[in-house]
Amino acid sequence: MKYVVTGLLAGAAIVSGSTTSEAETLRLLTWGGYAPDAVIELFEQKYPDIDVEVTLSNNEEIVAKLRATGGSGFDLAQPSVSRIVAAQTEYGIYKPIDLSKIDTTVLQPNMMEAMEENAQIDGEIYSVPHVWGTQGLVADISKAPDVKGWSDLCDPKYKGRVSMRLKRALLLGMAFDMGKDPFAAYNDLAAYQAILDEVEPKLIACKENLKTYWTGAEDLSSLLLSGEVVLSDAWDSTAFKLYNQNPDIRFIPTRTGALAWIDTFTIPAKGEADDAAYKWINFMLQPEIITMVSESTGSIGAVKNSIELLPEGSRAAVKAAFDDEALANLKFMPSVPAGIEDLEGKVLNRIKAASN
């Protein structure tokens, strides 16, 4: 319980010689499902002097909220690793992580390597990994058995039975499938634009195959379960849930490698509860808690043996999608430099507006 002592009550406590304590509040800025009520309850049972206050958000809003306040208002945030370096370099909204306060031995080595590559500035790490997932393709293999890469979205034999989401992943995936390396061009806007200039006409031509663009996981799920669509780009978590309803619907990591994201734990620059934040991080990396979060979100924990920690249905779906080669071929999303989103937005708008 939280005891708030003010005014005369504080004076009375002093006079009487009694003691009071005020619980610390951990203000968490995170994604939906990452802090389930059951997990918060377990944490507060273990640490009764800490109250957890959750604000749901997404990458764009996390950066915007912290930018607007100079990194204050929250004590722990969960941006994707791709939103660390550029945001910190430009706005100074995070503080370095004290790795001595986190048991990093429980984390998968490649996840910490991704932090070293994509969340490090001047020798200091600004994030640690929490969960990860990928974007690739989803296909009903009973109707589209030979899908291997993003270009299959344009195969005429699937005309009228393809869906897509007009977002960055579609541009990146198609670029990789066309033999380009968009990540290598991220720091050269002219080079990145040249890649987009080749991807744009390809995706406009792909509209011949399009049944509809999807915007949310529920939209895509309905299309696939009804059979209206047999192939689409997708988040792996959506495909894993669908697998449990129809095992012919599979996630396809693609021949060029699934686009992998990592959502992190990052401490805002003016956070006021660092000790509570570190306690939350270590608590959330426990195997049983990772399983609870995976059940809530469909995402995979960044800890060792994380696939085995998935709920049974999700575990089967992941194993059906990923072999060791596919896991070794993940394309981790790097930090998004300034200017990239503007270029992508213009291309996506032109693709949307173009006639088939």
Domain coordinates in residue numbering, the chain: 7-131+263-309, 133-259+333-353
Decide which of 80 and 17 is more confident: 80
- What would the mean pLDDT of 125-136 be, rounded to a whole number? 97
Q: Which CATH number fits domain 7-131+263-309: 3.40.190.10, 3.40.50.300, 3.30.420.40, 3.10.105.10?
A: 3.40.190.10
Query: Would you say 307 and 324 are in contact if contact means Cβ atoms under 8 Å apart?
Result: no
pLDDT score for 32: 92
Dist. CA 24–CA 5, nearest whole Å: 14
- What would the mean pLDDT of 20-43 be, rounded to a whole number? 91
pLDDT score for 309: 95
> Of 144, 143, 171, 149, which Cα lies nearest the Cα of 258?
149
DSSP state of 301: E
**Identical fold, 7-131+263-309 and 133-259+333-353:** yes
Dist. CA 176–CA 195, nearest whole Å: 10
Asked if pLDDT for residue 312 goes beyond 50, the answer is yes
Dist. CA 356–CA 354, nearest whole Å: 7
User: pLDDT band at residue 18, thresholds of 50, 70 and 90?
Assistant: very low
pLDDT score for 355: 79
Please state, for a pLDDT cut of 90, what percent of the chain lies above it: 84
CA distance from start to end of the chain:
61
> Of 210, 209, 180, 208, which Cα lies nearest the Cα of 196?
180
| Stated pTM of the model | 0.81
User: pLDDT band at residue 356, thresholds of 50, 70 and 90?
Assistant: low
What does pLDDT average to over the chain?
92
pLDDT tens by residue, 250-290: 999 999 999 999 999 999 999 999 999 999 999 999 999 99
For 133-259+333-353, give the CATH class.
alpha beta
Helix axes 236-243, 312-321, angle to 10 degrees: 110
pLDDT tens by residue, 75-124: 999 999 999 999 999 999 999 999 999 999 999 998 999 999 999 999 99
pLDDT score for 314: 87
pLDDT score for 43: 98
User: pLDDT band at residue 8, thresholds of 50, 70 and 90?
Assistant: very low
pLDDT score for 21: 54
